[in-house]
Amino acid sequence: MSQLPLVHELNSPLDPFEAFLKIQSLGGVLFLDSALKHSKLGRYSFITADPFDEYSLSIDNESELDGANSQVQDPFAELEEALARWKQEAVTDLPPFQGGLAGLFSYDLGRALERLPPKRKTPFPTPDYSVGAYDWVLAYDHALGKAWIISQGFPEIDLQGRAQRAQERIDQVLDLLRAPTPPLSLSHPAPEFSHSQWPFETFEIQGPKGLLSNFTRQNYQEVLKRAIDYIFEGEIFQVNLAQHLFYPQKNSNVSLYKKLRERNPAPFAAFYEPKDSHFVLASASPERFIELSPAGKVETRPIKGTRPRSRRPEEDCYSRDALRESEKDRSENVMIVDLLRNDLSRVCKPFSVKVPQLFEVETYASVHHLVSVIHGELEEGRTALDLLRCTFPGGSITGAPKIRAMEIIHELEPSPRGAYCGSLGYLSFSGAMDTSILIRTITASQGWLQFPVGGGIVAGSSPPGEYEETLDKARGILWALE
C-alpha cells in the first residue's frame, strides 16, 4: 500500500499566482501567498481549494457571552475534534502546511472567549470563523525553487480508499495546472445598496472619489483624545483604534488582489473565498500572529510603530532611523511584547518564553515597521487551538490590558471590525500552525470594499499624527484601487 500522504513534485512549477488562477475554479479557494519573498517569513506559499468539509460559527449578534458560561461553551470544540480525527504525522523536508483546517478567524470571535459587549450591526456581516478542511495543498518552497502537491486522501479512512482519493486529487490538480490559464475577469457589479442605508454614518474623505470613512478627521481625533483620557485615568496603558474605510467595488475580486499583491507585496499576503459565501478577503498583511511547528516551537511577531516610506533615499533612511529611535514607538512596542509574553506563558513550558528580537525595523512597500519577536515551547499535551484560545485576538491590535482595551474599542469604533484584526492561516493535520494578523486587508462584500486602518494609542500619542498614520497605512490599498 502506498505511503500516505501522497506527494507529487512538480518538475517546472508555475508562478504561484498563475497556478492560483487555474485552481480557483474548484471553489473554496485559499491562497496563502508570500508575495514578498523572505528567507524565513516569505519562504512558503500554499494554494488549496474544494474543502471536503466546512466549519462556520456566527455568534448571536445580541448575546453577551462569558467564556465559561456562554451559549458557545468552546468555540473551537468542533475544530479540535476534526483535527484529532484527521491527525497525520508531517512529512519531513516539505513545507509545513500539508493539508488541514484553514481559513478566517474574525476579530469578533473574541466574544466567545471573553465577556465582551455584543456586536454592533453591520450591512457586511462575516462569520466569527469560516474554516475549510482541505485534503490537499499545492505547496511552494521559494528558497529551494520547488513545489509539491501533497494529498492526504481524506475524508476516506481506510488506507486503500485514502490512497485512491489522494491520487485522484493529484490528477485533478495536475489537469488544472496543464490547462490554459483562464482570462482574468476585470469588472464587478455595482454595489447592491447605498451607504445611506447603513446603520452607522459615513463621510467622504480625501482619496479616490467615493472613498468613505466612519469618521471625519475631526471626529477621529476626538475619539483618540478620549482614548488618551482613558490612559491618564489609569484604565489602560494602550489601545489600538481604527477608522473603517469603504469604497464601491469596481474590479473583480481576483483582479483587485492581483493589484494589491503587486503594489503592496507582503510576506503574509492572502486571498480567501469560502464556498457559498458572501465575502472575499484580499490581504497584504506584513504581520505574523502565531506560528507553531510540529515540534512545538512557537513564534509571534508583533508590529508596533510605523513610519511612511519616501521615494527620496535620504528621507527614507531618516524615516527608518527616526522610527528605530522613537521613545514613543519603543514604549508602545514593549507593552505589547509584555502582553504577548503573558499570553504565551499560559500554554508554553515554564521559562521557555523568550524575546530574541526587540525593536527591529522592517521595510515594506509603503511603510517601515518596528517589529519584535517572541518565542516559546508549547507544553506537552497542548495543541494549536489551545494557543489560539489563550492569545486570540492578537495583543498588537487590541491594547493592554487586553479585555479593557477591547471594551474601549467597542465603545469608540462605531462599526464592527469583522475580519479586520482577526487572523487568516492554517492548522495542519500534523499539528503545525501559521496565522497572520489581518491588517492591510480588504473585505469585499455586496459590491463594497472595507479596509479599516488604525494604530496603537499611548499617553504620548498625537491625535493629528495618529490620523495621518492611518492614511499612510491605507496607501498601499489605495494604490491597488487606482
> Is pLDDT of 98 > 90?
yes
- Burial call 71-82: b when 16+ CB within 10 Å, e when fewer: ebeebbeebbeb
pLDDT digits (tens, 9 = 90+) for 283-329: 999 999 999 999 999 999 999 888 888 888 889 898 999 999 998 88
Cα–Cα distance between 465 and 469 in angstroms, integer? 6
The residues, any chain, with a CB within 8 Å of residue 214's CB and separated by 6 or more, are 200, 201, 202, 203, 243, 244, 246, 413, 414, 415
CATH of domain 6-179+189-481: 3.60.120.10
Cβ burial of 400 (10 Å; 0-12, 13-18, 19+) is buried
pLDDT score, position 230: 98
Number of Cα atoms under 13 Å in the Cβ half of residue 371: 16
Domain layout of the chain by residue ranges: 6-179+189-481
304 is catalytic: yes
Q: Are 41 and 266 in contact (CB under 8 A)?
A: no
pLDDT digits (tens, 9 = 90+) for 341-396: 999 999 999 999 999 999 999 888 888 999 999 999 999 999 999 999 999 999 99
In the set 304, 407, 469, 473, the catalytic residue is 304
pLDDT score, position 282: 98
Number of Cα atoms under 13 Å in the Cβ half of residue 163: 7
**What is the percentage of the chain residues whose pLDDT exceeds 90?**
77
pLDDT score, position 189: 65
Q: Are 284 and 441 in contact (CB under 8 A)?
A: yes
Q: Are 249 and 210 in contact (CB under 8 A)?
A: no
In the set 119, 258, 287, 413, the catalytic residue is 287
